[in-house]
Amino acid sequence: MHITPMLSKVLEPDSIAVIGASSNREKWGYRILDNILSGGYSGAVYPVNPNEDAVLGLRCYPSVLDIPHRVDLGIIAVPAEIVPAVLKACGRKDARGVVIVSAGFSEVGNRELENKVRDIARDYEMRMIGPNTFGFINTHLNLNASIIPQMPETGGISFVTQSGTFGLALVDWAASQQMGLHLVLGVGNKADVDDSDILAYLSPDRHTKTIMMYIEGIKRGRRFIDVASRIRKPVIALKTGRSRAGSKAALSHTGSLAGTDRIYDGAFKQAGVIRAGTIEELFDSALALSITPPAGCGIGIISNGGGAAILAADLCEDLGLNLPDMSERTVRMLKGVLPAIATPANPLDTAGYASYKMFRDVTDIMLSDPGIHALLVIYVHAEMVDPCLPAEAVIDASERCDKPVLTSWIGGKDIGTAVKLLEENRIPNYPLPERAVVALNNLVRYKRISQKR
Amino acid sequence: MKILTEHESKKLLTEYGIPVTREAVARSREAALMLAREIGFPVAMKIASPDIMHKHAAGCVLLDVGAQDVGAAFDTIIERAKKHAPDARIDGVLVQEMVPRGTEIVIGIKCDSQFGHAVMFGLGGVFVEVLDDVSFRIVPLTKRDAIEMTEEIRGHSILAGCDVGAIVDAILKVSEMAAKENILELDINPLIACERGVVAVDASATIGDPPHNTRRLYVPYR
């Protein structure tokens, strides 16, 4: 099966027909075309609608077959009952694939129609995404072929989500969080292209550094494991529906203990997929995984506030993360830079000092300790300090080091500029230390996974 | 669908090289005594019936039976079985070696609609569902998968004195069996893990309908 080359023409098309394009701003056909045009996509775009002469200033074709040029991708936003006819036209036009945005298929019980369109797509050797999907965004092509109103920041995370209103809201939220995204894709009903196909496509994709998935259910489970376990980049997934109860009609202990959640748990471990428990964990961890290297198990913590450092250390312990003692050399060097009232220990409390020099020195020294593989630097805002100075110190110190450094700048609007500075310099920063520790834990988990491969 | 008896289930395990207790079904008091002598005292004696699944609950399991008690034990078990389930088919009494003390673990198979066969490993015994300390993997398992299963249960330190290599081996053999046999569900509980080796003390397998009705569940990728 040569799935990858075909999907690449679908998700990286040179030309797109929007079938169901409309001048009516209420229609998806309008929104999608508008998003494609306003996003800055450089390929050819052809609106298709027999009832319109022109849409958004572009000439409109009655059928995809009337387009005098080649069409790689058809985006279909017409009523469900017309989809089969439109799909056949795409097939005769020799399109590589289609994205069916239209709803009204298996999600409302109309499996027959869904099977019919899947069979048409297969007959014409087209790949089909959907139906019932919000479409996709490819930021590196400036292509927003979706109903998502904003183009996310360009970055290394590819986000694959099962559609529905919630999936759409998640994408919108991710975009507003300034998460750097490469591909955003709603898999919809997965009648043809499913999670495994997307993973196989993303695996060699040079723009994708981390794969983030929101999953409600997986079809062809064993294939998912086989594909995912071959991927040499982090895959983190949130799977909903965590019922632990097995079948009540089970004949055995195994049957009654085998809840769906447990089977997924085992499957994800086999697949080397990091399982996130919450949306927050999913997003926070994907951010760290996409911009920092994986982490070994020795964690160092620095803070200008003892309370925050202990809070983070406690959570590290709960998660099984190790805060090692530092080497004699490190302790000696720390004594040389710390105020007399501070103790050179891990977690390290600078006793309130948060100057550039203090944060730069302790960060440099802790990072030089061979037992410390990753660092969490926590800044607790105090009125008299410019929070940009310790931020700059961390940025400068981490620049020359291949160990991951995460930060948590805690405070109100005073720290806004400092947070922006950290984000711009690709330091994963979190508003609370607990969130940083959870992300750090997943960097450690990914290191273990990657070592097994 | 067919539920195999303990003895039939263990025969299946033996085909895949999973060690089971030395045992045989006796149809009479005399045969029971002869078998017990061969196996060596003391022995365990259990009802052998395809219709009695919960042998303990029916009072049809007697342990540590000595030479002079075998005959009486045989009668007691048959009597209790008849009282418990008057219409049950009775093959006889299973006479079985007593296994030295060890750690009780469980290995099982469950056929899942999305993933196909899954193998379960965990702490076993009569409290398996109360302990609820198990781990799953999808067939086929690698050796690493099996090792991880033994490491990730909460009570993994309980396995410290056991032959973990033999446990891993048994998990892999069960995975192989799941891939080849049409098993809907299987419990090996308990599998006793000793300092050296493991031995299946009780087992129950449920086999699916003949192949013409079954879907091929595992389709390898590429």
Tell whether A304 and A280 lie within a shared domain: no
Residues of B near A (Cβ–Cβ under 8 Å) read: 3, 106, 108-110, 112, 114-116, 118, 120, 122, 128-129, 132, 134-138, 141, 144-145, 148, 152, 184-187, 189, 204, 206, 217-222
Nearest residue of B to residue A254, measured between CA atoms: B108
Tell whether A33 and A7 lie within a shared domain: yes
pLDDT value of position B216: 46
Contact assignment for B219 to A251 by CB distance below 8 Å: no
Q: Which of A222, A227, A269 is nearest residue B218 as measured by Cβ atoms?
A: A222
Nearest residue of A to residue B207, measured between CA atoms: A251
CATH number of the domain encompassing residue A70: 3.40.50.720
Contact assignment for A255 to B185 by CB distance below 8 Å: yes
pLDDT value of position A56: 96
pTM of the model: 0.91
How is chain B split into domains, by residue range? 22-97, 103-213
For residue A64, give both structure tokens. 């995809």
Distance from CA of A95 to the nearest CA of B (A): 25
Q: Which of A250, A249, A224 is nearest to A237 (CA)?
A: A224
For residue A305, give both structure tokens. 């506030």
Contact assignment for A223 to B219 by CB distance below 8 Å: yes
Tell whether A34 and A138 lie within a shared domain: yes
Tell whether A395 and A434 lie within a shared domain: yes
pLDDT value of position B222: 37
Tell whether A156 and A8 lie within a shared domain: yes
pLDDT value of position A170: 80
Contact assignment for A270 to B128 by CB distance below 8 Å: no
Q: Where are the beta strands (DSSP E) in chain B?
A: 2-3, 23-26, 43-48, 61-65, 92-97, 103-112, 116-123, 134-138, 183-193, 198-200, 203-207
Q: Which of B135, B152, B204 is nearest residue A252 as measured by Cβ atoms?
A: B204
pLDDT value of position A3: 46
Taking CB atoms and an 8 Å cutoff, what residues of chain A touch B188?
none
Of A269, A289, A309, the one marking the end of a domain is: A289
Q: Is B22-97 a CATH 3.30.1490.20 domain? A: yes
Taking the C-alpha atoms of residue A193 and residue A135, their distance in angstroms, rounded to an integer, is 13
Taking CB atoms and an 8 Å cutoff, what residues of chain A touch B220?
226
Please report how many Cα atoms fall inside a 13 Å half-sphere around the Cα of residue A25, on the Cβ side. Answer: 1
With contact defined as beta carbons under 8 Å apart, do B214 and B208 qualify? yes
Taking CB atoms and an 8 Å cutoff, what residues of chain B touch A263?
110, 112, 114-115, 118, 136, 138
Tell whether A152 and A272 lie within a shared domain: yes
Taking the C-alpha atoms of residue A434 and residue A179, their distance in angstroms, rounded to an integer, is 19
Q: Which of B129, B145, B217 is nearest residue A257 as measured by Cβ atoms?
A: B129
Domain hosting residue A447, numbered range: 294-452
For the stretch A70-92, pLDDT in tens is 999 999 999 999 999 999 999 99
Q: Which residues of chain A have pLDDT under 50?
A: 1-4
Q: Where are the beta strands (DSSP E) in A162-241?
A: 180-186, 210-215, 235-239
For residue B119, give both structure tokens. 């193998």
Tell whether A334 and A254 lie within a shared domain: no
CATH number of the domain encompassing residue A366: 3.40.50.261
Of A289, A317, A333, the one marking the end of a domain is: A289
Average pLDDT over residues B108-122: 94
Of A244, A274, A289, the one marking the end of a domain is: A289
Any idea how long chain B is?
A: 222
With contact defined as beta carbons under 8 Å apart, do A77 and A134 qualify? no
pLDDT value of position A2: 44
Taking the C-alpha atoms of residue A445 and residue A440, their distance in angstroms, rounded to an integer, is 9
> For chain A, how many structural domains are there in total?
2
One-letter amino acid at A133 equals T
Average pLDDT over residues B36-52: 95
SS3 state at B198: strand
Would you say residue B215 has pLDDT above 50? Answer: no
Tell whether A89 and A107 lie within a shared domain: yes
Tell whether A343 and A356 lie within a shared domain: yes
Contact assignment for A221 to B138 by CB distance below 8 Å: yes
End-to-end CA distance of chain B: give it in Å, rounded.
32
CATH, range B103-213: 3.30.470.20
Which DSSP letter does residue B50 get? T
Tell whether A55 and A199 lie within a shared domain: yes
